[in-house]
Amino acid sequence: MISALIAQKLNTKRGVEFNNRLSSKHEAIDLLFWYAVREERGGDTGPFDAILNLTKREPDGSCSHEPLWDLSASKMCTYGSPRAVVLVGPYIHWGREQSADAQGLISKWAAGISVARHTEEVAGSVVDTLLQIAANPHLRPFIPADAWSWLNDLPYQPPTCKGLRYGCDRDIVRTVRALGDIGILTSYLIVIWSGEGRPDNDGFAEMQTSVREDFKGIDMGYHRAKLIQWLDLLDQLPPGLVGVFCRMTGLGDIRDQFRGFKRVLQEVDRKANQILNRMLPALSFSVC
C-alpha cells in the first residue's frame, strides 16, 4: 500500500516542471528518502524499492526522476542497509565525488557487497558501480581487490549502464590486468563485449595487448576457449538486437572493434595450438 502510494506521488512529478521545482522540495524529498531507508532497515523494502523502480532508466537512457539521486543517493549509501547500499551504488555520481567523502562511501559499499547475496540484480548493480568508481582515477586505489571478483558472475549490463560507458578505458584495463587473476580478466572482457562497452582507441589497444601477453601459451587454453565461445555467440547476433547477452549497435566502429578483438584472440590461440601440436610427438614418445 505505502509503496504504491509513494510510486503514485513521485510519478506525478515529471519533466521540466519537476526539475524547476526540485530545489524548493529538497526537504520533502530528503524526508522521503530517510523514511525509505528507515523502513528498509526495518525489513520493509517496499518504499525503497518503489523509489528504486521509479529511478531506473528507460531504454533510451533517460530518467525523469534522476534528480532525486542528486540529493540523497550518497546519504542512502551512508545510512542504508547493506542491500540498499549495493543497489543505490550505480546512482551515485562517482565521477564528481571528492576522494575524502567518497572513500567513506566506498568503504560502506565494500562492506555491503561483502555480505550481499549473489543474485543477478545485485551482481549487475555491483559491477556497474565498480566500473564507475574505477573510472575515477582518484577513487580507483580505494577499490578492494576482492570487489573485482564480482565480474565472475558475468551479469548482463543493459545499454543504459554507466559502468560500461566509462569502464573500458586503458587505465581500467591495466588495473584489471594488474590483479594477476586471468579468470577475472576473462570475465571483465566478456562483460565489456557482451554489453555496450565502447573502448576508445587507447582502451582497445590495451585490450589487444592483454590478449597477446596475458592469454598466450598453451596453459591459457581454457580461458581463451571461454572467451572465444562468448565472442562466437555474440558475433552470431544480428546488429541492433537487444538480447539476453548483448546489444550491438549498428555496423559502425563498435562492430569493427569487436571483430578486430576476436581476430587477435584467434591468432593467439592458433599460435598456441601450433606450439602444442609440435610438442605432442615428443610427449607421446616420452610416455611410451
CA dist 211 and 216 (Å) reads 7
Query: What pLDDT is attached to residue 252?
Result: 45
**Taking the alpha carbons of 218, 215, 190, 115 in that order, is the dihedral positive or negative?**
positive
Q: Are 37 and 84 within 8 A, CB to CB?
A: yes
Beta carbons within 8 Å of 273's beta carbon, 6+ residues apart: 218
Query: What pLDDT is attached to residue 99?
Result: 63
Query: What pLDDT is attached to residue 198?
Result: 77
CA dist 168 and 189 (Å) reads 9
SS3 of the chain: the string is: CHHHHHHHHHHCCCHHHHHHCCHHHHHHHHHHHHHHHHHHHCCCCHHHHHHHHHCCCCCCCCCCCCHHHHHHHHHHHHHCCHHHHHHHHHHCCCCCCCHHHHHHHHHHHHHHHHHCCCCHHHHHHHHHHHHHHHCCCCCHHHCCHHHHHHHHHCCCCCCCCHHHHHCCCHHHHHHHHHCCCHHHHHHHHHHHHHCCCCCCHHHHHHHHHHHHHHCCCHHHHHHHHHHHHHHHHHHCCCCCCECCCCECCCCCHHHHHHHHHHHHHHHHHHHHHHHHHHHHHHHHHHHC
Beta carbons within 8 Å of 67's beta carbon, 6+ residues apart: 18, 19, 22
Query: What pLDDT is attached to residue 101?
Result: 76
Query: What pLDDT is attached to residue 35?
Result: 76
CA dist 104 and 25 (Å) reads 27
Q: Name residue, grid cell 531504454.
A: 59
CA dist 203 and 208 (Å) reads 9
Per-residue confidence of the chain (288 residues) as pLDDT tens digits?
Answer: 444 454 455 555 444 344 444 444 556 666 677 777 778 888 888 887 877 776 665 544 445 555 555 556 666 777 778 888 898 888 888 877 566 678 888 998 999 999 988 988 899 999 999 999 999 999 999 999 999 999 999 988 876 788 888 899 999 999 999 999 999 999 999 999 887 677 888 999 999 999 999 999 889 999 999 999 988 887 776 654 433 334 444 334 567 788 889 999 999 999 988 887 877 665 554 545
